[in-house]
Chains A and B, each alone.
Chain A
């Protein structure tokens, strides 16, 4: 192993590649290295993020200028007649866009961007392990996600087009082509999600095992960085929730293919059964889609504020509490479903309760900034935006949690605004922050700061201009998933708002090209990164950038303290790495 260390000290970028002399295919394609797999997930999910965004742009164009051939969507004429005819988008294609935008963003963009990328990349590096507990299972996890994604994309090209019953796939619309006009597309949707579910499950087992068993000496549970804590709890949620979805999806597939009628009342089935199964998975899923981002933001914000995270243990317990309460709130998606209203009353109370751990986290982030020495590096800007926007997403959630107020708001743009404040304002800003923060570790180079800051600013501005007015469209009574909102007079009067939103959404989308440019340019031309460019404390920053196969070149890192010892009196600098041996100075007592 000493040859590895020497190869590294030489500092050349490809030196560590000589370590095992793996052929190209084993090293970059069918790799078992958790870092390569994390980066593979990163490329795959960013591609899907771009594609999902493109679908959203097509929807926004239609909403601003519905069925107006004089203002036809650019590029629309390139689409087949079954999607776009004589300058007008067809309603069945719009419904497919609605469905596939939601499905792709949730399952193929945000979920892998949070879990597939960072659980793989960060967990071994943050806990001081050479790799995952099951490296080959890990490789299988990625290579199951790929065919799942291909099947989902292929569904656009089949007879009848892609699934068009919404990302929630409510039966019996989703189970009968008599009602939806789509059979093969819906079957592919189902199969793809089942395969992706297996990929997530395998990943989750791996992450859980790795965190429990492979922590470095001295890495106690309460010395884990909050990113790892959040990814650990998220993995438990995945392990328990995904099988429920898979079960439901298999029943759905049987209903479509063999007319089994699990969800078909004509033959004794129950449409609400699908909703219970879907949301029993779906609500923990919502927390799967935000908890990891909360972890990244905590790591980044402590670094940016040069200060220990405020209330570390409260933060951990809040993550655990969200993980638990998240299981008993699914019914709030079904307030209007015809479910027993007494159940609605129960779910309202549990949903209100989950606001408490969310508030704890927000106040602790504020506490972290208080008294800090705040550096506004790009990752920290994203983390700050996360907190500012998550507050809005959380508060709009209270309207929807209050069941009587939800009656007019349910299935309107108020819900669309709420979910995008959480998943874009929250999760996606967390993801951008994480990418910029750990980019130097991944690729050995820094991302460009001025471009990064410009991208952050434009994204922040256009995000708010796009999604904030949707609250008012919703409270004004605009329903979701409408192909042409001008059919209804009470919505048509807000058409200028819809045009405004579309223009801002297009600008929001365009701003992302700055990020794409920065990402690829920096990968090859960015400033060379040291091992610890942000003066951070975590174990990942004690490994070279990028770390070799095995991460520390055979050396076992030893942990002496928690991950947030910024500005500690124990050190003359404003950071103190977890691996730094005790200085001998009196350690201040703390919880």
Chain B
């Protein structure tokens, strides 16, 4: 069935649950679809007009009305209840798992800028560093993003993560994911945002823990080297280049 629906590879912890829900709905709708359409075609054939025949004179059947009303209601209520929990697990900040890495993603026409916490593991401090059109995260780590926009509405979309979230100017919208499969993917914009909307893509890398630690350390050093005024910060990063990202990854940042 995956081939039929062309679902992209799933690389997030909750993507499997979304796909299961997708398939449950797909099977229910496929069964209903064939039942209704086959009945339709059968009726069209069986009750086609013939000479000298009169149609059955009936105005309906209350029992059948109740049956199909109740039947449909039961199915959709069950689907609604099943979906609600999963929905809140993914989108309700009160249910977010503890973050292993916190990031700020700032969208603007037509790029994605990702801000990392730097050596102190805390965002919005002097040692933060920002990378343009690249999101790099370690595998098997809860990543919590704060999504912001500098101009119009964009929408952060990684099909493989099964994650989409609009990015709205004036709002800081939280979102989380945990990627499980290292590799290179693409972030796309899913909300029409202007002339360059179609090419507002960015690279998304899921690294192994070692790879990510190395990359993060490099970036921190580079960022600290650039920050000529902040000596204390530069000292801290040069003293302990490998330890800080590990600490950040272990979830001490919050």
Contact = CB atoms under 8 A, between A and B. Distances in A.
Interface stretch (A78-86, A252-260, A300-308, A445-453): A300-308
A366 B40 contact: yes
Interface of A: 91-92, 95, 98, 165-166, 170, 172-173, 176, 179-181, 265-266, 269-272, 305-314, 336-338, 341-342, 344-345, 348-349, 352-353, 355-356, 359-360, 362-364, 366-367, 369-376, 384, 387-388, 391-392, 395-396, 398-399, 401-405, 407-408, 410-412, 471-473, 475-477, 479-485, 487-490, 494, 564, 566-569, 574, 588, 590-591
Interface string B47-81: 11110011111111110110011001100110110
B54 A349 contact: no
Contacts of B194: 95, 173, 179-181
A165 B37 contact: no
B130 interface: no
A272 to B, nearest CB: 7
Given A172-B169, A173-B152, A370 B47 contact: yes
B180 interface: no
A336 B165 contact: yes
Contacts of A484: 198-199
Given A395-B29, A408-B164, A412-B190, A488 B201 contact: yes
B198 A336 contact: no
29 contacts: A170-B152, A173-B194, A179-B152, A180-B194, A269-B170, A306-B49, A307-B55, A307-B57, A308-B59, A311-B60, A341-B92, A353-B76, A359-B68, A359-B72, A362-B36, A363-B68, A367-B60, A372-B43, A372-B47, A391-B32, A403-B84, A403-B87, A410-B190, A411-B164, A472-B5, A481-B192, A487-B198, A490-B159, A567-B56
Contacts of A566: 55, 57
B68 A352 contact: no
A95 to B, nearest CB: 7
A352 B201 contact: no
A369 B45 CA distance: 10
A395 B33 contact: yes
A305 B53 CA distance: 12
Given A345-B84, A360-B65, A472-B5, A352 B77 contact: yes
A401 B28 CA distance: 14
B159 A408 contact: yes
Interface in B8-47: 8, 17-18, 21-22, 25-26, 28-29, 32-33, 36-37, 39-40, 43-44, 47
B215 interface: no
Nearest to B173: A338
Contacts of A314: 60, 65
Nearest to B86: A404
B155 A411 contact: yes
B83 interface: yes
A384 B49 contact: no
A311 B37 contact: no
Interface string B138-170: 000000000100011101010100111111111
A270 B171 CA distance: 9
A588 B56 CA distance: 13
Interface of B: 4-8, 17-18, 21-22, 25-26, 28-29, 32-33, 36-37, 39-40, 43-44, 47-50, 53-62, 64-65, 68-69, 72-73, 76-77, 79-80, 83-84, 86-88, 90-92, 109, 147, 151-153, 155, 157, 159, 162-171, 173, 186, 188-199, 201
A352 B76 contact: yes
Contacts of A490: 8, 159, 186
A345 B87 contact: yes
